[in-house]
Amino acid sequence: MHPEFNYPAEIKGKRKLYSLFKGLNHPLEVISGNHQSVGDNYYIKASFTDKNFIFSQDKEFVEYILKQNHKNYQKSEIQSVTLGKYLGKGLLTNNGKDWLKQRRLIQPGFGKAKIANLVSIMEEEIDKSLESFKIESEVDLYDFFHSLAFNIVAKTLFSSDVDENTVNELSKIITEVQEVSTKEVRLPFYTNILNIFGVIDKNIEKSKRSKAIIQSVLDKRRNSGEEKNDLLDMLIQTRYEDTQLPMSDEQLVDEMLILFIAGHETTANALSFIFFEISQSPKAEEKLKKEIENEGEMVFTSENLMKKSFTVNIIKEAMRLHSPAWAIDREALEDDSFKEYSWPKGTLIILYISGLHRNPKYWEHPDSFIPERFEDENSKNFAYYPFGAGPRLCIGEHFAMMEMALIVRKFYRRFTFISYQKKLEKKALVTLRPISLKGKIINNLA
């Protein structure tokens, strides 16, 4: 430890070894255990890479890093380099002036008014997928939502320019790439082993294939001369303020790949968690169905989906308990300090969102599903950041919330889901996902 810096409590000895190795496959268990042992902030030095890590589930610290002093922090190499070599330089992986330039360019396309125009495309995909359920159907909702969310992104991004086989191929590639990149992130020295066996090269080839698919869709749209008022049109037509030039094809493809990944993965995971929690709470389901009934013909309008409601409260509470974006990483560009702590340039900050969302310091009955807590007029100030915070707040927040509210209402207007699982097994990769969500669907209108 650097004597001139004052880190939080350090994880050392056996606990450190346990953290470094057990953390590969069970990061939530390890990080939560460390916080329980030493408090809301802790420090650990990675022996193999000589990197300094500070972990935090403290609201003030999180806000300092993401908001008050965000200019001193960038996405760490975990995303900008490790994920960047597969995903390119889209909003998720980019940093600095390049990121800001892209964010300013793309942001207007994700405002509430623009997203509202996509409701009819979403509805068509949801209605089509729900038709597969008979009077009584056994299902793994995680697989179902993965497919549905991917199809929604494909259609809102590309309209009808991509067929089902292509969508399935893209989905498979993206899942395989994430499995490998997660191993690289957790154990950097493992990258050497993956290199020896050619796994990295194979993964890069898969990534190139996914980009080639997206480029072919882009070429097809340009050659057709059609305008379809989807996200692809928005990306093609948008121009940089300073040059009035469009994005290069390479940049366009990178941004579309990022939108595919961020737009379906986190939503599919969140929907699985939402439906699991509803299945465990008959009172919440009853209240939800009553709200759907009371909204009448307005139930699926964009204005109705975006306003404060019990539907939205359910979504928020499920994402509090199971935040798909379970951690946020940042790297210090210069030496910094907060309250009694200080750390050098290059320190990696891991903001543990899952821990923050269940921290008893901020939440009463933190492990209980209580959607009503978001009715509180002070809920905007809760220790709650499922979409991040500050300038890098997730650009797709409105899109995701409207999509999830629409799916929840469409489903519960007609169906009930009975989960076979009383406890949900979760796997923390780049995002937090369930292993499965198996159960039975009852058609209440049959």
Task: Report the binding-site residues for heme.
Answer: 394
HSE (side-chain half, CA atoms, 13 Å) at 27 = 22
Quote the tokens at residue 218.
Answer: 């882009």
55, 61, 5: which is closest to 34 by C-alpha?
Answer: 55
Neighbouring CB atoms inside 10 A of 41's CB total 20
197, 152, 142: which is closest to 175 by C-alpha?
Answer: 142
Q: What is the spatial distance between Cα 98 and Cα 103, in angstroms, rounded to a whole number?
A: 9
Q: Is the dihedral of CA 254, 204, 393, 52 positive or negative?
A: negative
Q: How far is CA 232 from CA 155, 220, 285, in A?
A: 10, 12, 37
366, 365, 357, 370: which is closest to 277 by C-alpha?
Answer: 370
Q: Is 193 helix (H, G, I), strand (E, B) or coil?
A: helix
Quote the tokens at residue 109.
Answer: 């396309």
Q: Are 153 and 260 in contact (CB under 8 A)?
A: yes
Residue in this structure with the two tokens 């320190």, named with its chain if needed: 347
Q: Which residues are annotated as a binding site?
A: 394
Residue in this structure with the two tokens 């623009």, named with its chain if needed: 114
Q: Is 249 helix (H, G, I), strand (E, B) or coil?
A: helix
Q: Is 364 helix (H, G, I), strand (E, B) or coil?
A: coil
Q: What is the spatial distance between Cα 259 and Cα 91, in angstroms, rounded to a whole number?
A: 9
CB-based burial of residue 380 (10 Å sphere; 0-12 exposed, 13-18 middle, 19+ buried)?
exposed
**Would you list the DSSP string of 291-357?**
HHHHHGGGTTSHHHHHSS-HHHHHHHHHHHHS-SS-EEEEEESS-EEETTEEE-TT-EEEEEHHHHT
